[in-house]
Amino acid sequence: MVLGIIVSYYPNTSELLESLISLKGEVEEICLVENGSTLDIQNEIINIIQKEKKRIPSIKWIQMDSNIGLAAAQNIALEYGLKKNFDFYLFLDDDSILQKGSVANLKQFLIENPKYGLVGSEIIHEGSKRMQKYPTISSHGWIIRKYINNNETSLNDVSSIIASGSLLRLNCLKSIGLMRAAYFIDYIDIEFCLRIRSLGWKIAVIKNSKIIHKLGEERAVNLTLGKIYPTNHSPLRRYYMTRNRIWTWKMYAFTFPKWFIYDFINFCFDIVRFSIFDQDKFNKWKMFSKGILDGILKKEKGNYVS
């Protein structure tokens, strides 16, 4: 039994419908947590579900009065699945589309590889049409970003994956607990993956499962040495990305020192990228600075254990 988990917040309803349709025949049920959009948007989603119910799986609709954050909303869906005794949990963003047959392949991988707690799909970014690279652990423990080559069926020993398009097994969920609700948004999946690995589980990405995924307002910028892809996240997202990143460093830098070096290099690169190519630089720098301060001084609040 597979539970699909989607959290919506002011979604493009046509894109959400595509996501729901892509799960037809893939999961037994969807838990759709509507995370505090306006009543008009919520009614529009309900009307779509009623109108298109033959094209989408059975849906458990959970409506929040306000935005409680992505992590807390995902936890509500996970707790629902635990009560209903689902064996696997599929995460999907409300604007991502899953290729048909993907869940069966994800599930088969986990069944055949009991040491793996989480397996992800190969990701195609809609805006740039580029394939996702994955931070993979080399034989010496260093993190190397890799594509899945044409002659490979999977990438094993992946450090972290994007939650959207990933399948989590029940035993892994029970051993590691829920998402960190205090993160609200950003770095939720990275911390979750590091926690999975810290407790002895492994993570992989397989080639015969694919999603089309959106990443911020991504656009390609051509440089002499190649292309760069600014995501143009909002100042508020920049705050959460920075604060949660530092919280994650504080928890895992000594457990995974080579991952910390890798992520710190990405952090420096990200500063350069948004400082040069993003819009609204002043407000983003303001929120970035606040994120650093809160990441260092503030302690995470909230219990992630189920």
Tokens at residue 126, please?
Answer: 């809609």
Q: Over 90: is that where the pLDDT of 305 sits?
A: no
For residue 225, is pLDDT > 50? no
Rounded to the nearest 10°, the torsion over CA 270, 273, 277, 280 is 30
Of the CATH numbers 3.40.50.2300, 1.10.150.20, 3.90.550.10, 3.60.15.10, which one belongs to the domain with range 2-213? Answer: 3.90.550.10
Q: Percent of the chain beyond pLDDT 70?
A: 90
CB 3 within 8 Å of CB 84:
yes
Residue limits of CATH 3.90.550.10 in the chain: 2-213
pLDDT of 220 over the 70 cut: no
Triad 232, 237, 242: Cα angle to 5° = 105
Q: Is the pLDDT of residue 306 over 90?
A: no
Q: How far apart are CA 112 and CA 303, in angstroms?
A: 32
Write down the pLDDT at residue 298.
85
Q: Is the pLDDT of residue 124 over 50?
A: yes
Distances (CA, A) of 85 to 54, 89, 222, 238, 302: 25, 11, 49, 37, 25
Give the rounded percent of residues in the chain with a pLDDT score beyond 90. Answer: 75
137 vs 228 pLDDT, higher one? 137
pLDDT at 172 over 90: yes
Over residues 74-93, the mean pLDDT reads 97
pTM of the model: 0.89
Mean pLDDT of 287-305: 79
Average pLDDT, the chain: 89
What is the average pLDDT across 111-126?
Answer: 93
Mean pLDDT across 243-266:
95
Lowest mean pLDDT across 34-38, 80-84, 138-142, 165-169? 138-142
